[in-house]
Amino acid sequence: MTQQPTTAPIPWTTIGMVVAWYGSNIGVLLLNKYLLTNYGFKYPIFLTLCHMTACTLFSYIAIALMKVVPLQTVKSKVQFAKISGLSVVFCFSVVCGNVSLRYLPVSFNQAIGATTPFFTAVFAFFIIKKREAWLTYTTLIPVVTGVIIASGGEPSFHLFGFIMCVTATAARAFKSVHQEILLSSEGERLNSMNLLLYMAPIAVTCLLPATLIMEENVVGITIDLARKDVKLIWYLFFNSSLAYFVNLTNFLVTKHTSALTLQVLGNAKGAVAVVVSILMFKNPVSLMGMVGYALTVLGVILYSEAKKRYS
């Protein structure tokens, strides 16, 4: 009688990291939505500034003081210029995403966000001439079709919010493609934690004047609101801290799991965020919207499988 091979149990630390990754990702998304709509804090650029300030502070503590990962230094002005360009695109995508949450429910926001592979494939094709197998491109059809169906069936559809969300999704894809180009050489490549350490303060310097110009007197308004309800300060602090822990837990989960596991967890995370947001905010959903989102997620899974098989 042959003994069946036993699979090693998943370490509890890995399970804890995945739970923390889910919690921070979904938590920051839902709290952004709550602050920008339900609470009435209508300042998405200032909110992003708070996020980037927290990322700057916590990145320094984690790397320079706690040595969570080794410090990687910027070796040239050219490398710094590349990181600065990435940072501008990064904070632009975050601002657009936060703006979209003022107008769209989280469920629809996540459906649009799931089309990131489509924009990544398009930018990779035109910018770095990266070609995929025809079957891989075919799997992108349900990704886009699903969003079109979801848009037609979305009871809370808002054109400006939709444009902002699509822009944020495209900007994220653009950043990932350009990151592959700009930091491609071995000497310039940085891990995600060190990259955030350098990008976050650059983002702060970009967002600070944008906040002062586009959201006039937001600091004074925030202080006045906090005097009336001190919980606002805790909301902003907790929300900004979560924004950093999204990056930290993403790095740790990537380090301790396989690429395939990460893809599966990422696809499931979006679905969990949709369900939790509907339960929390009770936004109306239609059958057509759910079918559209399901079709988009199916397309993303098929795209991941096709890319893995034919690359």
b/e sequence 269-293, b meaning 16+ C-beta within 10 Å = bbeebbebbbeeeebebeeebbebb
Q: Would you put residue 11 in left (φ > 0), alpha (ψ -120 to 50) or beta?
A: beta
- Mind giving me the DSSP string for 245-305? HHHHHHHHHHHHS-HHHHHHHHHHHHHHHHHHHHHHH-----HHHHHHHHHHHHHHHHHHH
Residue 13: inside a domain, yes or no? Answer: no
Q: Is residue 24 part of a domain?
A: no
Structural domain includes residue 167 = yes
Question: Does residue 9 fall inside a structural domain?
Answer: no
pLDDT for 255: 80
CA–CA gap between residue 248 and residue 169 (Å, rounded): 21
**Domain membership flag for residue 189:** yes
Find all residues with CB under 8 Å of 3, minimum gap 6, and list them.
none
Query: Residue 128 in 3-state DSSP?
Result: coil
One digit per residue, the tens of pLDDT, for the chain of length 311 reads: 455 555 556 678 888 888 999 999 999 999 999 999 999 999 999 999 999 999 999 999 999 999 999 999 998 898 899 899 999 999 999 999 999 999 999 999 999 999 999 999 999 999 888 888 899 999 999 999 999 999 999 999 999 999 999 999 999 999 988 888 776 777 778 888 999 999 999 999 999 999 999 999 999 999 999 999 999 999 999 999 999 999 999 888 888 776 667 767 877 888 899 999 999 999 888 999 999 999 999 999 899 888 888 86
Give SS3 for 92: helix
- Please, which residues have CB within 8 angstroms of residue 180's CB and are 6 or more apart in sequence? 128
Domain of 203, in residue numbers: 30-310
Total-model pTM: 0.90
Count the domains in the chain.
1
Dist CA 260 CA 241 (whole Å): 28
